[in-house]
Amino acid sequence: MTESEARPEGESLGVPRGHAVVIGAGIVGLCTGAYLQRDGWRVTMLDPDGPGESCSFGNACMRSDGAGLPVATPGIFWKVPKMLMDPDGPLAIRWSYLPRLAPWLIRFVAASRRGRVEQMVADFATLMARARPSYEPLIEAAGARDLIRDCGSIEVFESKEAFDGARWGIELRQKHGAPLEVIGPEQIRQIEPSLAPIFVGGIHRTDADRIINPLRLSQAIADLIRREGGEIKQVAARSIRRGAGPGGTVVTEAGEIEADLIAVSAGAWSKKFAADAGARVPLDTERGYHVLLPNPGVDVRIPVKSNEGGFYLTPMELGLRIAGTDELAGVDAPPNYKRIDPMLRRAKRMVPDLNTEGGEPWMGRRPSLPDSMPVISPVRGAPGVFLAFGHGHYGLTLAAVTGKAVADMAAGRPTDMDMAPFSAERF
């Protein structure tokens, strides 16, 4: 592809696009690299692992257009202690990590104020509305359409207290365009007959689809980048050194690379690179787990979220994935695969015929900011450095809209939404 073919029609600003180095080849980095490349940049991607093999490998495979809720919602301060006491609960904390986590937790609780959450849902809705349309050109060019299933999803509640407590969040998201329908036990059974009759109610989300194999999606976009002239190096970046002009030098374990533009999209590992460029961003990780059941023995038709369990049952190419929960333990702690046992017990109660034999466990690190919003942002005082990380529970959904926004900002084009809520300056 020539450079003029790569640029969207009428948007060639005559700005010479030079060499862009993208740190991190998860789904966010890959979509960012692909958008930059299609905008005329020569792209080099760096990652010590293969494309999409980290957090982007093991998620619950869901995308949706409508508004999403942050993790910290009103009342979380009172709910968290109870959740932590429940050994089968969706939230765990590694107590030895608490002193290092404390500043993040304080911001997390502050972000749960009602007014803040209402604003966040509105801001988030602008991103979500553009999420799937932004994927379209990449999915088309990557030949990855066979990986998408339009399906909708349901969230189911075992307790009336939890169901009643969810109303506020449902109405808030509906106000911002999420097509959520409140359903009763009989409708749950009709939509997903594999479920046991143990639920008091649910939420049917019609705007959701699923990617039947997120790793294959990452690999398809990586292949697209290579096909269109980009390079993906299996190399770790160590630091960013700023020079006099835009971009800087990316120091890697295999030498130094000069870049006119640097995009930091190293997921949960991004904080240090942002700091190198002069941005202090309170990034931490909410670790999640999954177990893939290769022979589930039941036909779960659409993704089902257990509200109380904090996980999804998602049918995918390789079996049934049970994915979710939240563990606050930092990036470096080893996985605690015992977290999977309560997920399996609850899943078996939800779907009694489920065959839980042969499950493969996995742990991944969601890159998470305390207000659940990503950073998609230039860095003040560091022209040519862009931050694209912190997508928490929504990174699969928001990867392409992030890449598009970075390419727009890098080209000096106006973005089609207000980027201030996603600025690194908000902290």
| The residue count for the chain | 427
Report if residue 55 touches ligand FAD, rule: CB under 6 A: yes
Q: How far is CA 268 from CA 24, 47, 55, 112, 281, in A?
A: 10, 13, 9, 22, 12
Q: Which is nearer to ligand FAD, 32 or 356 (CB)?
A: 32
Q: What percent of the residues of the chain are helix, what percent strand, and what percent coil, each to the nearest 5?
A: 40, 25, 35
Selected binder of ligand FAD within 11, 49, 140, 256 (CB under 6 A): 49
Site for ligand FAD contains 266 (CB under 6 A): yes
Segment near ligand FAD (CB under 6 A); pick from 41-49, 152-160, 343-351, 352-360: 41-49
Contact flag: residue 276 with ligand FAD (CB under 6 A): no
Burial annotation 266-283 (CB, 10 A radius, 16+ → b, else e): bbbbbbebbebbebebbb
Whole-number minimum distance, CB 160 to ligand FAD, in Å?
26
Q: Which stretch binds ligand FAD (CB under 6 A): 136-144, 184-192, 361-369, 407-415?
A: 361-369
Nearer to ligand FAD, 14 or 387 (CB): 387
CB of 187 to ligand FAD, least distance (A): 23
Q: Residue 62 interacts with ligand FAD (CB under 6 A)?
A: yes
Gap between the terminal Cα atoms of the chain: 41
Q: How far is the CA of 380 from the CAs of 23, 163, 239, 241, in angstroms?
A: 19, 44, 18, 15
- Could you tell me the smallest distance in angstroms from the CB atom of residue 236 to ligand FAD? 4
To ligand FAD, the closest distance from the beta carbon of 307 in angstroms equals 15
CB of 306: closest distance to ligand FAD in angstroms?
A: 13
Using CB under 6 A, count the residues that bind ligand FAD: 43
Binding region for ligand FAD (CB under 6 A) out of 240-248, 277-285, 337-345, 363-371: 363-371
Q: What is the DSSP annotation of 105-142?
A: HHHHHHTTSHHHHHHHHHHHHHHHHTHHHHHHHHHHHH
Residue 54 as a binder of ligand FAD (CB under 6 A): the answer is: yes
> Per rule CB under 6 A, is residue 340 in the interface with ligand FAD?
no
CA dist 327 → 85, 87, 296, 314, 366 (Å): 13, 12, 26, 20, 10
User: C-beta of 14: minimal distance to ligand FAD in Å?
Assistant: 32
The structure tokens listed for 317 are 């190419």
With beta carbons less than 8 A apart as the criterion, state whether 129 and 280 touch: no
Distance CA 399, CA 393 (A): 12
In this complex, which beta carbon is closest to ligand FAD, that of residue 101 or of residue 323? 323
Query: By the 8 A CB rule, do 216 and 144 touch?
Result: yes
- Of 23, 215, 264, 302, the residue at the interface with ligand FAD (CB under 6 A) is 23
Contact footprint for ligand FAD (CB under 6 A): 23-29, 46-49, 53-56, 58-63, 236-237, 265-269, 288, 290, 323-324, 364, 366-367, 389, 391-397
